[in-house]
A and B are shown apart, each in its own frame.
Chain A
């Protein structure tokens, strides 16, 4: 079974630009969560999608958005990039309903904003 796949692996953007990151979950997983990871803050929850619906959202500005498609693949978008958006963006998939439902993470997209 293939793991969680995130593309691209690395991105370099400049302030003011926008970016779209992609995540393909493990086959059969319908929940996709996104996290931002920075050295000082650790993993910060962005949002979670299940069956194309956003079920949970973290405390991030509206510049951060996402969506999920009918095949469970997900994208997140960051508009009007700021220097502080430089981080590792991790996607994780899970299968809700399992007793010890756990997240399976992709390798992440390392975003650098110059």
Chain B
């Protein structure tokens, strides 16, 4: 089976840096994704890691360690609009051999002035 853990809620201040952690256990790992979801809206793609290391994209960076089953999403220079839920998802080979995305429960980030 699969198990993905991330904190339920985090708070941070505008302009600060926040790191959202995600740990996972899966039998057929084939990539890790981060999605952002604002309340009442669809999740939107942020980042993808399949090899160990850091992927940087503007104010957002994502890190992966496959041996530790660990990833984090780093958000710099926080803005009020970054208040949202951040979903960690692992691409896993299902029992059919075809891949599917398995999501964690999400981390709700609240950015205050």
Q: Do A and B come from one complex?
A: yes
Chain A interface (Cβ within 8 Å of chain B)?
Answer: 4, 33, 35, 40-45, 48, 50, 55-56, 90, 100-108
Residues on B with C-beta less than 8 A from A101 are 91, 99
Given contacts A103-B45, A104-B45, A105-B43, contact A41 B105 (CB under 8 A): yes
Tell me, in angstroms, the Cα distance from A106 to B50 when the chains sit together.
25
> B26: shortest Cβ distance to chain A, in Å?
13
Q: What secondary structure prevails in chain B residues at the interface with A?
A: strand
Q: In the complex the two chains form, is B48's CB within 8 Å of A100's CB?
A: yes
| B85 to A, closest residue via Cβ | A42
> A68: shortest Cβ distance to chain B, in Å?
14
> What are 25 A-B interface contacts by the 8 Å CB criterion?
A33-B100, A35-B103, A41-B105, A42-B103, A43-B87, A43-B89, A45-B100, A45-B101, A45-B102, A48-B98, A48-B100, A50-B98, A55-B96, A56-B96, A56-B99, A100-B31, A100-B50, A102-B33, A102-B45, A103-B101, A104-B45, A105-B35, A105-B42, A106-B42, A107-B41
Given contacts A42-B104, A42-B106, contact A108 B96 (CB under 8 A): no
Residues on A with C-beta less than 8 A from B42 are 4, 90, 105-108
Q: Could you tell me how many residues of chain B have their Cβ less than 8 Å away from some Cβ of chain A?
A: 24
Tell me, in angstroms, the Cα distance from A100 to B91 when the chains sit together.
10
Most chain A CB inside 10 Å of its own CB: which residue of B41, B89, B102, B103 = B103
